[in-house]
Structure 1
Amino acid sequence: MKFSKLFLIALSTSLFVSCSNDDNNDNDKAPKGVYDNGFFILNEGTAQGTVSFSSNDLTSFTKDVYATVNGSDVLGKFAQNIFFSGDNAYIISGGANNITVVNRYTFKLITKIETGLKNPRYGVVKDGKAYVTNANTYSFENAATGNTDDYIAVINLATNTFESKIDLNSTANRVVLKDGKLYITDPYNDKLLVFDIATKKLDTPVQIGLNGDCIEEENGILYILKGGNGNSSELVKVKIADKTTTKITFPQSLDGAGFMDLENSKIYYTVGSSVYTMNTTATAASTTPIVTSPATYVYGFAVNNSRIYVAQGNFSTDGKAYIYNLTGTLQKELTTGIGTNGFYFNN
């Protein structure tokens, strides 16, 4: 499950990752499979997760891609995140302690990684290895405080096997990769963890204050959004070169900011069911929404290729995905699966 949902229960509670070719050979433009040139929508589920798919032109939609392709085999409980490497997609299931490996263009099952993982969360890839955060003994009982036994699982993607474990002595959640270092959010403490892959050591953490979660990187700056579950909202910018920080404190009307993404030097963020935007150079947060969706519980969010994607995370009925252009016009509404929580672009 996402921490945001667990917070709500306990307290009363993407990396999205293009390349062009000047060759005009038509064969180079041909899709690599049925699920090329579109996006996946991850549905966390309760007993098991599912993955939906839409073509980029929004004319073709499959509600449960994995079942369509792989028959009776099922994804694990609490599908959390998808990351890509080469022709493969890796689907993290936190409740099943596994990663399902499929071809990203056909979605045909390749294998499942089932060792070395405990409550896996998010993953990034460098030099043929995946680095996956694990919440370890995280539970409803410690949902308000986290714990200190979280770790990174290192996965060899050539063999799809667990290789080693990096203890963090902290809580760990989202992760981004930049210049050979992992930047990992710790929502319960006032720090951003930094792990140097080359030296295999933790650097001095960056002090950012409590509740930092959503994290993105652009042009050598990390952007970290704080404010989930009704807390005061803040955007922290960390200059990677020298680890200096600047902050934008949001007005009280924007308490409880939930999700963030970057697109073309703009920051997009959610508060409740509304979406706001400001330039990366802004010194104050915008209080005028550009989109207010019908979603009563926003559980996933992305901005990609001049579109805004908002997920309604129902857990008793199928969720919804709402897709808008950047001026706020609804382009498509899709009925997805239980607990819709993320968008992953397969171009």
Structure 2
Amino acid sequence: MKFSKFFLVALGSISMFVSCTNDDSDSTVDSGAYENGVFILNEGSSGQGSVSYLSSDLTNFTQNVHEIVNPGDLFGQYVQSMFFNGDYAYIIAGGSNKINVVNRKTFKLVAKIETGLAAPRYGVVKDGKAYVVNANTYADFGAPADAIGNTDDYVAVINLATNVVETTIPLNATGNRILLENGKLYISEPYNNSNILVVNPTTNTLETPINVGSDADTMEVNNGFLYVLRSPYGGPSEIVKVKLADSSMTNIVFPAELNDAKNLDIYENKVYYTVDTSVYAMDVTASSASTTAILSYPSTSAYGKMYGFAVNNGHIFIADGGDFTANSKAYVYSLTGTLHKEVTVGVGPNGFYFNN
């Protein structure tokens, strides 16, 4: 598969069912049961994905939130990511070509978006519309950039008032992660490609891409700069710091012991990144990468590295991928590396989404 080496099946055809609604009057659901906490997405394997919930104070934990609140509903395969808009959370199930729309406080199902999507990945919201990157068809890992399946990715533009895909924006490239900054969409073009794609959502057109080098994917914006972590196979990892006002760049090349760095996140003027099962941090203004780990954890992952990562609310959140056949673990550490919480989540936990 083009992006995730854990996603080993070809994706099916697009369902033509547009949406469904549920009665919001279920008295068994606490009206604010899932406020003020973090949703942990569990990708799953051949079966359905799931969502776990951990409260902000780390005292309340719920496994299989969607199943508890919406019994009998099929959530979807390969749960990929989540984004928020107003009272709603949108959970992308890439293996089922659908987006589940739920009330972000109760997790009660509101609608399903199932038309116009082809292997959806990540999304953002601007002015009442969602912009969701779709991987479309897949070429073999490592295939040339112009191979079939590597250039047919697109952005689906969804009207969130109707939950209908209004139009699509062809990327003519590989697309994966997406973020919104100053009215522009920035889309990572991972693996053997070299650009951060730039889309103008006002005109739904591509602008001049930013060439940051190959194998760039995880990215964050801070104080007018786009931080992009790239980890080319067999070469040094680095952070490319792009000044968005003029696209000028500064490169922070990592030493060899930090090869294959992943999972960039920025919190309180520090850049956090991971290598295998260790977490590191450096100041946003630093010119060199720290080689001193904040923490290392005992992974049970079949791949020997964490699969989900975030820093928020004064904590470091780690999801261990496990073996993708059984439930795995998520951990919450202090910013100095003290373990505060360990929970058993679903199969293949891959991300943290904060509902504050």
CA-to-aligned-CA distance 1:261-313 (integer Å, 9 cap, x gap): 00011000000000000000000000000010122331000000110001101
Q: Which amino acid aligns with 1:78?
A: Y
Task: Confirm or deny that 1:306 pairs with 2:305.
Answer: no
Task: Confirm or deny that 1:176 pairs with 2:195.
Answer: no
| Pairwise CA RMSD | 1.8
Is the contact made by 1:94 and 1:121 (CA closer than 8 Å) also made in structure 2? yes
Q: Find the counterpart in structure 2 of residue 185 from structure 1.
A: 188
Is the contact made by 2:97 and 2:119 (CA closer than 8 Å) also made in structure 1? yes
Evaluate the alpha carbon distance shift between residue 206 and residue 173 of structure 1 in structure 2; reply closer, same or farther with a 3 A threshold: same
- Alignment TM-score, normalising by the size of structure 1: 0.90
Q: Find the counterpart in structure 1 of residue 253 from structure 2.
A: 249
Runs of 4+ in 1 over 6 A off after TM superposition: none
- Alignment TM-score, normalising by the size of structure 2: 0.88
Distance 2:261 2:3 in 1: 14
Distance 2:325 2:279 in 1: 25
Task: Confirm or deny that 1:42 pairs with 2:41.
Answer: yes
Q: Find the counterpart in structure 2 of residue 317 from structure 1.
A: 326
What is the deviation of 1:230?
6.0
What is the deviation of 1:228?
6.5
Evaluate the alpha carbon distance shift between residue 285 and residue 8 of structure 1 in structure 2; reply closer, same or farther with a 3 A threshold: farther
Q: Find the counterpart in structure 1 of residue 339 from structure 2.
A: 330
Distance 2:144 2:51 in 1: 31
Is the contact made by 2:152 and 2:170 (CA closer than 8 Å) also made in structure 1? yes
Is the contact made by 2:122 and 2:132 (CA closer than 8 Å) also made in structure 1? yes
Classify the secondary structure of the residue corresponding to 1:95: helix
Return 141-150 or 65-74, whichever deviates more: 141-150
Evaluate the alpha carbon distance shift between residue 161 and residue 190 of structure 1 in structure 2; reply closer, same or farther with a 3 A threshold: same
Q: Which amino acid aligns with 1:94?
A: G
Q: Which amino acid aligns with 1:270?
A: T
Evaluate the alpha carbon distance shift between residue 257 and residue 88 of structure 1 in structure 2; reply closer, same or farther with a 3 A threshold: same
Classify the secondary structure of the residue corresponding to 1:132: strand
Is the contact made by 1:4 and 1:229 (CA closer than 8 Å) also made in structure 2? no
Distance 1:128 1:268 in 2: 31
Is the contact made by 2:214 and 2:232 (CA closer than 8 Å) also made in structure 1? no
Q: Which amino acid aligns with 1:44?
A: E
Q: Find the counterpart in structure 2 of residue 55 from structure 1.
A: 55
Q: Which amino acid aligns with 1:180?
A: G
CA-to-aligned-CA distance 1:33-67 (integer Å, 9 cap, x gap): 10001110000001111000011111111111000
- 1:70-85 matches, within 5 Å, as 70-85=70-85
Evaluate the alpha carbon distance shift between residue 176 and residue 236 of structure 1 in structure 2; reply closer, same or farther with a 3 A threshold: same
CA-to-aligned-CA distance 1:323-342 (integer Å, 9 cap, x gap): 00001000000100001000
Evaluate the alpha carbon distance shift between residue 308 and residue 98 of structure 1 in structure 2; reply closer, same or farther with a 3 A threshold: same
Q: Which amino acid aligns with 1:297?
A: K
What is the deviation of 1:2?
8.6
What is the deviation of 1:138?
1.8
Return 92-101 or 223-232, whichever deviates more: 223-232
Classify the secondary structure of the residue corresponding to 1:318: coil
What is the deviation of 1:229?
6.0
Q: How many residues align?
A: 325
Distance 1:56 1:191 in 2: 36
Distance 1:208 1:336 in 2: 35
Consecutive unaligned residues in structure 1, runs of 5 or more: 10-30
Q: Which amino acid aligns with 1:323?
A: V
Q: Which amino acid aligns with 2:63?
A: K
Distance 2:333 2:175 in 1: 32
What is the deviation of 1:200?
2.2
Q: Find the counterpart in structure 2 of residue 260 from structure 1.
A: 264
Q: Percent identity?
A: 57
Q: Find the counterpart in structure 2 of residue 91 from structure 1.
A: 91
Q: Find the counterpart in structure 1 of residue 124 from structure 2.
A: 124
Distance 2:348 2:232 in 1: 18
Distance 1:5 1:59 in 2: 34
What is the deviation of 1:74?
2.0
Q: Find the counterpart in structure 1 of residue 217 from structure 2.
A: 213
Aligned counterpart in structure 2 of residue 272 of structure 1, from 276, 285, 308: 276
Classify the secondary structure of the residue corresponding to 2:76: coil
Q: Which amino acid aligns with 1:298?
A: M
Evaluate the alpha carbon distance shift between residue 228 and residue 345 of structure 1 in structure 2; reply closer, same or farther with a 3 A threshold: farther
Return 57-66 or 143-152, whichever deviates more: 143-152
Q: Find the counterpart in structure 1 of residue 287 from structure 2.
A: 283
Distance 1:256 1:145 in 2: 21
Distance 1:35 1:319 in 2: 21
